[in-house]
Structure 1
Amino acid sequence: MKERIEQGLAALGLTPPPEAAAQLAQYGTMLLEQNQVMNLTAITEPDQVVDLHFLDCAALLTIGEDFKNKTLIDVGTGAGFPGMPLKILEPSLNVTLLDSLGKRVTWLESVCEALSLDKVTCLHARGEEQAHQEGFRDSFDFAVSRAVASLELLSELCLPYVKVGGKFLAMKSVDSGDEVDRASRAIAKLGGRLLPRVDYEIPGTGVTHRVVVVEKVSPTPKGYPRRWARMQKSPL
């Protein structure tokens, strides 16, 4: 995995720390081992883990945002994507990995320990509840999500975490145009403003994905995010 990671990062034009490729390879090994006893990923081939997880996440570092010494929360991180690869590739990031499943959070803590990562908080919480807590609301430079949910729901979950002037980065497919259009009203209501979306190709795969970029221009009104059931029943 390490050699494929190095080749892919070079193809993306990234120059990460010398230890990053080895750390990502170790993370990939731990992911595939743990996946035998816990449902972490449907991708089980090492090369595809590199391409469709690591390099896909790494592409966020190529879209023109400055991540150095910033704070970032990964809402619904699952097996750590995209927050963990971003932390490994940009060690100055202060990262919070938030997930509602305690077993996943415990495993992520073990990965951080094995890779000797600092400035990473693995948080077991529901995204729609934690966003109302002091120190989390309107507090992060970046919120990121690779979760499989509509942009309307993701925006309500994630934008409350972002400070004014910060960004919400949603990883989506290139056929998400209609979804983005539908979410524009919700984004405005939550204090956000859509910026030009960025499409990128994962090296060596021919696969193109998209980052939807939302700038936080005003504080999110009180009361958002709502309870998850309410959000699903009545999207903004």
Structure 2
Amino acid sequence: MSEAKGMSMKDKLILELNNRYGKDKTDTMVSYMQRILEINEHINLTAVRDEGEFLEKHIVDSLACNDYEEFQRAKLVVDMGTGGGFPGIPLAITNPNKKFILADSLNKRLKVINQVASELGIKNVELIHTRAEDMGHNVKYREKADVCVSRAVASLDILSEWCLPLVKKSGYFIPYKGEGAEDEIATAETAIEVLGGDVDKIENPSEDKNAISGHRLIFIKKVKSTPKRFPRKPGVAKKTPIR
């Protein structure tokens, strides 16, 4: 570890990523970050401007799923509300054998991600401009994903209505949540059950890394099919969450 002494946070994280994922994948992730930060000057994709902080909060944090078997065995992964491409793009770079669908309701964000992904040769992503409620009723996507991930800022009861309809039976919905994960689960209990899910476990991947971003991963297993009426029309989940 003497190597890391006196290093900046950015260099330490790049060293860690190199050791774990190899130079090629790490270089691609760093290039993605640099391009997003360049474009961020014109289109708001992230509030984080510092490269070290970006690597920690967006790249390392996004990669947390890689440590878990439930994610490792997935072939098709949906990233709902991908924003600037997180967690979808870092996960796609480190899992070239999986297919990723990145969905967002803001088309200008998706155009940026698409442009940067093609510049960097990231070929295992498909970008979809859609609302979660429409995607959940589209036979092409409904109950097709092995895993749906999301770092979108919405409470768990709402997020479950957007994401669980996309997950196939025995698959997983894995939202990235903050400190209040248990409280959110308590509030979302009815919604998760109604939508066919069951909370399997909560993992705290940053515990041993002292990461500032510190998301926790909730593993919600799809135990039965989602009733046909869900998701409800756009905007309804936010106004009247399933309680």
- Normalization by structure 1: what TM-score? 0.93
208, 211, 215: which one pairs with 1:205?
211
Deviation, 1:174, is 2.3
Per-residue CA deviations over 1:85-139 (Å, capped at 9, x if unaligned) read 0001111110001011111111111111011111210111111111111120000
Q: Structure 2: how far apart are the matches of 1:126 and 1:4?
A: 38
Correspondence 1:189-228 to 2 at 5 A: 189-201=194-206, 203=209, 205-228=211-234
23, 27, 37: which one pairs with 2:28?
23
Instruction: Call closer, same or farther: CA 1:159–1:69 in 2, change over 3 Å.
Output: closer
Gaps of 5+ in 2: 1-8
Structure 2 counterpart of 1:233: 239
Structure 2 counterpart of 1:133: 138
Q: Structure 1: how far apart are the matches of 2:113 and 2:213?
A: 27
Structure 2 counterpart of 1:178: 183
Structure 2 counterpart of 1:91: 96
2:110 counterpart of 1:105:
yes
76, 79, 84: which one pairs with 1:71?
76
Instruction: Call closer, same or farther: CA 1:206–1:39 in 2, change over 3 Å.
Output: closer
Gaps of 5+ in 1: none
Deviation, 1:233, is 1.6
**AA partner of residue 223 (structure 1):** R
Q: Is the deviation greater in 196-205 or in 77-86? A: 196-205
Query: Which secondary structure state, in structure 2, belongs to the residue aligned with residue 48 of structure 1?
Result: helix
Query: Which secondary structure state, in structure 2, belongs to the residue aligned with residue 65 of structure 1?
Result: helix
Query: Which secondary structure state, in structure 2, belongs to the residue aligned with residue 122 of structure 1?
Result: strand
**AA partner of residue 181 (structure 1):** A
6, 18, 21: which one pairs with 2:14?
6
For the Cα contact (< 8 Å) 1:76–1:145, is it kept in 2?
Answer: yes
Deviation, 1:234, is 1.0
Structure 2 counterpart of 1:58: 63
Query: Which secondary structure state, in structure 2, belongs to the residue aligned with residue 15 of structure 1?
Result: helix
Structure 1 counterpart of 2:5: none
Deviation, 1:230, is 1.4
2:174 counterpart of 1:169:
yes
**AA partner of residue 194 (structure 2):** K
**AA partner of residue 219 (structure 1):** S
19, 36, 40: which one pairs with 1:35?
40
**AA partner of residue 72 (structure 1):** V
For the Cα contact (< 8 Å) 2:197–2:224, is it kept in 1?
Answer: yes
Count of residue pairs brought into register by the alignment: 233
Q: Is the deviation greater in 199-208 or in 212-221? A: 199-208
Q: Structure 2: how far apart are the matches of 1:101 and 1:234?
A: 23
Q: Structure 2: how far apart are the matches of 1:185 and 1:29?
A: 42
Q: Is the deviation greater in 31-40 or in 196-205? A: 196-205
Taking only aligned residues, the RMSD between alpha carbons, in angstroms, comes to 1.8
